[in-house]
Amino acid sequence: MQYQDVFVLYWEEVKKSSQEGRFAKLTMAKTIGKPNLKNIFVRPVYSDNDFKVLVKFHYQSKETEDEENELTLDEAFVVLKSYLKTSFSSVLLFTTTKDVTFKINKKGAGRITENSPTFHNVIQAKNNLE
């Protein structure tokens, strides 16, 4: 199955974990080539009537300042999807009940695997934008 279709299924797990209050963190890793962008981190920002995420772009060089944006999950999906296969080949979702990994192989196929949870508590992001 092509990675785009598998990523849509993967994102359903991300949305479900946020709705159930289990979403702890999401990380894009395994860079392709030698880009300046090292990782993209996504942390939860829960409020009474809303759920947003803080998306942080972390760069290799100290000259490039990290960027942070508060987005909805739908907005984050569009942003993260644009970095798949061009900059990153894996995405790790950490929830309080399991870790879910999305990987793209060299043929462009996507795969989802699950492991025991790394995080047992949800720690909200501190928004540095304010």
Q: Which helix (H) or strand (E) holds 7?
A: helix 3-19
Q: What's the pLDDT score for residue 130? A: 42
Q: What's the pLDDT score for residue 126? A: 61
Break the chain into its structural domains and give their ranges. 3-115
Q: What's the pLDDT score for residue 52? A: 92
Tens place of pLDDT per residue across the chain (130 aa): 789 999 999 999 999 999 998 999 999 988 888 888 999 999 998 777 788 999 999 998 888 999 999 999 999 999 999 999 989 999 999 999 999 999 999 899 999 999 999 988 777 666 544 4
Mention every residue, 6+ apart, whose C-beta is less than 8 A from residue 54: 42, 43, 44, 45, 68, 69, 70, 125, 127
| Predicted TM-score of the model (pTM) | 0.88
Q: What's the pLDDT score for residue 49? A: 76
